Structure 1
Amino acid sequence: MPTDRVDLPEFRRLTWRDVDPATRPHIGSAELTKLVRSLPPAAEVPPAGTDWRLADLWWDRMTEALVERLGEWVVGWQHTVVMEDYPGRGVIPIWWSVELPITTPDETLDRLAEAVMAWHELTVELATDARGRFAAAAPPTTDGTGDPVAWRAVKAPGISRSDPGRFTSTIPYPRNLSWADVDPRGRDFDPATVAAAVAELVTAGNIPAQEADWRLRDLWLESVSIGFAERYGLWAVGWRWSVGEGDLDGGPVGHWCCFSHSVTTPEATAAAVGAALIEWRDWLEDIAERFDRFLPLAVDDLDGWERAVAHLVTAVGDRTQYDSGWYGCCTTVLGWFLEAAGIAPGRREELLDHAIGGRFASWVEPDRKTVASVAELLAGQVAGA
């Protein structure tokens, strides 16, 4: 799979002049199918089950080849329009992403040709609104462009939908780990083994170039996390939870930021990755030690709960520097504390929502009164007061 970036015209920026079927030669289904099969990327259809990032990149390469042959209008094959009763807006046109599965090469290419033809036919319909689906949803006034009423109708809502189910990861986001997943006690870890583990995962031959497509960079980062998880356990995937606006935003790790800033030479990159893993482990051990200062706690020990919560909020804030998204890490650590204290899973999220409820914000260190209020609320909820 080539590592070069694929730059496609932005669908949302297309004008009627870009998609008007009257401005392009007619193409029939058989001719379009033949064209799709002749494009260079058509010889490299990924196998079924390919990671969604590699599959997406291949679809983009096919679209890029289609744009070169047919024009910018063709990027619209990835979209269709349906009429939906949208809350507060009535029945309006909504753009939906077209999701095509990768199966056999023949089926995959045929489906792509069908999707391109469906988009062409939709533009033909938009030229006249022959089926009367869209005109009623058009803005009440014209915009002076002379665009068809149906086109103005489908562009006006600016609402689109897609199926997030395909954007899956084989590893969890650190915020979704439980304390049982990350508790360092009983999990042996020798920092001296990290350099060797990293050397197997981070090599000059497998690091994508800085200019590589973001999906290839993301896949590489995930492969490192998978390697760590297989070697050390699931807890290790938190090595990328960086301070501020890094890869995962709002975490406690300072040795890693993100691909664009932390990936340099292979040697320096390997050193940064290894240091980040060790730092993450040190943070978990620090948290465990802090938990031990307060636990066990009786549910009616309001003073004890208040001291523990205030202490943990401050500890997380100091570590994350109260930077972008720091409150996410704070909520996670408090959730871990509730878990370690034996609070039932079903209650934890409710307790945290009630206690924090928007009181923390990015780049803002809460004053002592706010921290005390959160601690008091959470303690009171735990005690059932």
Structure 2
Amino acid sequence: MKTVGLIVEYNPLHNGHVYHFEQSKAVTGADAAIAVMSGHWLQRGEPALVNKWARAEMALRMGADVVLELPVAYSSQAAEWFAYGAVRVLNDCGVVDSLCFGSESGSIDWLSGLAERLYIEQDDFQQRLARRLEEGMNYPAAYSAAIRDWVGEEGGRLNEPNNTLGLHYLIALRRLNSPIIPATIARHKAGYHDRNASDAHIASATAIRQWLGSGRQKAGLEKIRSYVPSYTLEILLRELEAGRAPISWGRYMQPLLNQIVTRSADELRLIHEVSEGLEHRIKRCLAGWRPDKSEASTVGEAAFEALIEQMKTKRYTRTKLQRMLVRILLNHRKAQLTRESLAGGPGYIRVLGFSAKGRLLLQRMKKKAACPVLVKIPGERPPFLEMDIQAAGAYSLGYSQPSSAELLRDYYQAPLRIGSE
């Protein structure tokens, strides 16, 4: 069975994702697809719009055969470790033949050449990157500038987020000496950050989330109807009516502030992503923090936006700060997420759901995988899995009516099954 791997968030799954899914199978000639999907906390340092089980269901109903969870240790990281973690999960499965990702360029050749060069000449590039960071640039800008210094103006194409992620997928494949064959397809019609739709059926997930989070969710559901599959709409409505959507940072302001105010600056400095004196900036910013309800649809959203605005500088982007706040909220310490621990991989493969065909894939995976394939929580848990369970519990605090069943759902929820056995 020829199998393609996909690295996804599906936040939420929309028509552009369906296009990518169908094209990925066509381009690679795959018979089956395995999706590695971020859990509750995402790459840009945000909580997912709906929980991982709802998004896994969307993926399975689209046609994915197996949905695996990307551990939170990797899912809320910058491109290097996000990409490495996801590729590591696919590689460790032992059954994935190809990886197909979306990119703005739609060309694999220049990305592959750049990835090979970066892998071989890493020290030279890191020196260029360090010089740019010393000039006061934020990391994404410094990275793009260092690439341009190194390879010329073609490096400017890495200003596009999917090109950058694609580059890091290819570097990760090289680091792992993986047999997985990469492929890419051009992003279709809507850009990653587009907040408006210029097409009748394709809109970015950013635009869809904005419409759903506007304060009138039922009206938002109607607005997105033409941009998402019917099953996405059905699942979103179910989650909305259950008080489990739409989830955003505004729902976590009280627990987040509790974590900040009950820690000293020295304690905050031990948290992953708190670097270069940010522990002091966080404390100072509280003094000038003035939430303005007129600036957002809810008090919580206004409070979060005000906090981000207080902390933002030229050096620290919104995404960097959001990732840091995820780690503060979840109490993820630097000692837990060292380069050595991340490079070692998760040490497990967590199954969120599968189809009838996926059941056959799982049987193969259990024989060929490089680490345990988990369909239930074991008694002895790897450190990153413990972090996933805790992150899921923290996420459920954002529901309208948190319950013990939701707080502990990861312990008893069996993988979702779609299709006849």
Higher relative contact order (CA 8 A, sep 6+): 2
* TM-score between the two structures when normalised by the length of structure 1: 0.23
* TM-score between the two structures when normalised by the length of structure 2: 0.21
Q: Judging by fraction of residues, say which structure has more strand.
A: 2
